[in-house]
Amino acid sequence: MNTAKKYFEKQLADEEFKRSFLKEKVKLDIEYQLEELKKDIRSRKPAERTY
């Protein structure tokens, strides 16, 4: 296991870090989906549902 992965797993053991990390990940995922939707709307292509 490399150093970065070990460090990240150690950080995830901290509940506050884990909560903040997941919160930011959700925000980025939503932002990405919004940008994809905007591109689809601009090109008039129907958006594919991911759920």
pLDDT at residue 41, rounded to an integer? 87
How sure is the predictor about 50, in pLDDT bands with cuts at 50, 70 and 90? low
Across residues 45-51, what is the average pLDDT? 63
Cα-Cα-Cα-Cα dihedral sign, residues 5, 36, 45, 48: positive
CB 37 within 8 A of CB 20: no
Q: Please give the pLDDT value at position 7.
A: 95
pLDDT higher for 26 or 47?
A: 26
Residue type, 6: K
Segment 1-44, tens digit of pLDDT: 699 999 999 999 999 999 999 999 999 999 999 999 999 888 98
